[in-house]
Structure 1
Amino acid sequence: MSTELHTIIDLIRYGASRFGEAGLTFGHSYDNALDEATQLTLFALHLPHDLSPVYGQARLTSDEKQRVLALFQRRIDERIPACYITGEAWFAGLSFLSDPRALVPRSPIAELIEVGYQPWVGEREISRVLDLCTGSGCIAIATAVYQPDWQVDGVDLSADALALAQANVERFEVGARVRLVQSDLFAALQGERYDLIVSNPPYVTHAEVDALPREYEYEPEMGLRAGDDGLDIVLRMLRDAPEHLTEDGLMICEVGESERALVELLPEVPFAWIEFRVGAMGVFVIERDDLVRHHVRIRELAEARG
């Protein structure tokens, strides 16, 4: 069979076909079989991710073909996300180290980072930013890379995730502007205030986590599971955020499919839902003043969760 595969394009097409036949699930940085087959092929050949298409007709040696095919087979047999095989995930145009200590970077917030969080921050003077539930550090670090005048804190409860985030801080040489803090949300941030709080927290319901395809089993469950409606953690964040935002501070938070549940719980709160290039993705923007105005109801809901 491998004798019939000659070029890079041949291998990519073949890998995508095998992935489709095997019924793999995509969504970890790449959302389709062709992109994952491309990622694994270029990784096996030690070629850059942005290789010019002109090299697609380049012929492979027998050893090279076997390396590529072995990665394809591992992806099929183990159902491990391609990013965990390569150890690399692209986010906001940047290459992050990625492994099972944290979720694979894939938040639509990357699009906001690339445009400086506009138009949402408007004319605000931003100097301090908090990335709550930072995981691999991708949001905090990408924000610092794109905004060299901002100081960014990345907070996570997981020591393992923070170790990966630290490796990424060193990778991008932003240690002077990115501080990592181990904390259960705001618990270790007493007295700290930020102009902007950004978060991609756990927001997947118990039922959804239990039904996720095998690929998701490699990711830390604590980065996904968040109660019966996916809002256990988000409600705590909304309750406590006013104490950590400056007077005209802003909060941006991803809740994905739990958007409907949040709107049903707090219909009076004026969440602004962002439209991305690919459409709505369950990311809201909220002003500190609005969180303060509705604090009593938010606190009541959060504390009812225990």
Structure 2
Amino acid sequence: MHHHTPAEHSPETLGNHDHLETILDFVRWAASRMDEHDVFLGHGTHNYLDEAAWLILEGLRLPPDLGQDWWQARLTSEERSAVVELIRRRCLEHIPTAYLLNRAWFLGRPYYVDERVLIPRSPFGDLIRDDFKGLLAGNPAPQRVLDIGTGSGCIAIALAEHFPEAQVIGSDIDFGALAVASHNVAEYQLADRVELIQSDGFDQLVDDAGKPLAFDLIVSNPPYVDPAEAEDLPDEYHHEPAGALFAPDRGLALVERLLDQAADHLTPGGWIFIEMGNGRHWFDQRWPGHGGLWVDLSPAPSSIVGFPRERLADWRDCGDT
């Protein structure tokens, strides 16, 4: 992580901004400063103008789709100081916009986030929106759904809304993450359908008799980044909880453990889907005959693998090879 000396923290290092008056002025100026300071995008937007508009509009508590006419509105001096401070922290401290605003978007809807949870950006959003690409089509709609490593709760909440009949459990090893998730579950008024449980993987997901809880559908976005990649990651990632990003064994340790245990927690005909980012390469290399299906969510190469329960008994080697 880069440590800035206090001198670097003075707003002056962003250059003179006394002449800036309107929303448009600040968005244009912020986008240029972001480019100059190599701000990393990938936690929400794809270009500096969009990132600057998101930071400034939400920072001013204005709607993200503010009409053109309003862009000429002038900021008060208090607003100018507050906005410059946001831009400073974004450019010089590389704090992701979602953390500065305590708000991230998932499937077009807002969620509270802070540094206790990863910023929502999972391709599970697309998979849920596309109704799991028809892979669950032969089954009745899932009644019991599990999201392992729920973080902010956004995937559990999206699943509850997509499957209105389902009871959803969101689990996380981390109590801080569960606190954030419970805030979001309450915001969406889903406390009667989304239950949050502290669990290390499947370990605590058992009934009173110690029998594994079973689900029709399990999804997980576990930690899957190879710790060796840590130093190559942009500064922005160092503001995210390391426990939610990194896993031993080239990032595969948790994925392997989940697949080994999943069959006990699935109903007949149930599916588990696990996201593993760039880990797909290592996964395919280590278990070339695995029986999983990479779920295509173009344009990006798929990073989510799906296994029906019947392929889990010998998942390492039950493919077509």
User: Is the shorter-chain TM-score for this pair beyond 0.5, marking a shared fold?
Assistant: yes
Residues in 1 aligned to 2:273 and 2:74: alpha-carbon distance in whole angstroms: 47
The whole-number CA distance in structure 1 between the counterparts of 2:72 and 2:137 is 47
Does the CA contact (< 8 Å) of 2:291 and 2:315 recur in 1?
Answer: no
Q: Which residue of 2 aligns with 1:101?
A: 116
Matched, 1:20 2:31: no
Where does residue 144 of structure 1 map in the other structure?
160
1:135 counterpart (139, 151, 161): 151
Within the alignment, does 1:166 sit opposite 2:166 as a pair? no
Between the two proteins, the alignment pairs up a number of residues equal to: 297
Moved over 4 A (4+): none
Rounded Cα–Cα distance in structure 1 between residues aligned with 2:57 and 2:299: 26
Task: Please tell me whether the aligned partners of residues 207 and 228 of structure 1 are also in contact (alpha carbons under 8 angstroms).
Answer: no
Q: 2:233 aligns with which of 212, 227, 231?
A: 212
Give me the TM-score of the superposition, normalised by structure 2: 0.87
What SS class does the counterpart of residue 303 from structure 2 fall into?
strand
Q: Alpha carbons of 1:128 and 1:53: their partners in 2 closer, same or farther (altered >3 Å)?
A: farther
Deviation at 1:93, TM superposition (A): 1.3
Match of 1:301?
A: none
Moved more, 275-284 or 122-131: 275-284
**Mean Cα displacement is larger for which, 18-27 or 114-123?**
114-123
Which range moves more in the overlay, 286-295 or 35-44?
286-295
Contact 2:116 2:177 in 1 (8 A): yes
- Range with greater deviation from structure 2 (40-49 or 83-92): 40-49
Q: What's the CA shift string for 1:211-240, capped at 9, x where partnerless?
A: 322211111111011114110100000100
Unaligned runs of 5+ in 1: 299-306
Deviation at 1:21, TM superposition (A): 0.1
Worse-superposed segment, 261-270 or 150-159? 261-270
Cα distance in 2 between the residues matched to 1:53 and 1:263: 48
- Any residues of structure 2 matched to 1:3-82 within 5 Å, and which? 3-82=18-97
Give 2:4's aligned residue: none
Q: Distance in 2 between matches of 1:62 and 1:210?
A: 39
Partner of residue 269 from structure 2, selected from 219, 244, 248: 248
Aligned position for 1:224: 245
Does the alignment pair 1:155 with 2:171?
A: yes
Displacement of 1:277:
4.2
Q: Show structure 2 runs of 5+ residues with no match.
A: 1-15, 207-211
* Per-residue deviation, 1:16: 1.0
Match of 2:103 in 1: 88
The Cα of 1:131 is off from its aligned counterpart by 0.3
Q: Answer yes or no: is the 8 Å Cα contact 2:259–2:315 preserved in 1.
A: no
Tell me whether 1:194 sits opposite 2:215 in the alignment.
yes
Taking every aligned residue pair, what percent have the same amino acid on both sides? 41
Are residues 1:263 and 2:279 paired? no
2:145 counterpart letter in structure 1: V
Asked if 1:112 is matched to 2:127, the reply is yes
1:54 is displaced (CA, Å) by 4.1
- Over 3 Å counting, the alpha-carbon distance change for 1:151 and 1:186 in structure 2 is same
Distance change in 2, residues 1:65/1:247 (3 Å) = same
- Displacement of 1:87 in angstroms is 0.2
Separation in structure 2 between the aligned mates of residue 251 and residue 50 of structure 1, nearest angstrom:
37
Residue type at the aligned position of 2:261: D
The answer to whether the Cα contact below 8 Å between 1:92 and 1:113 also exists between their aligned partners in 2 is no
Cα 1:227–1:31 change in 2 (3 A) is: farther
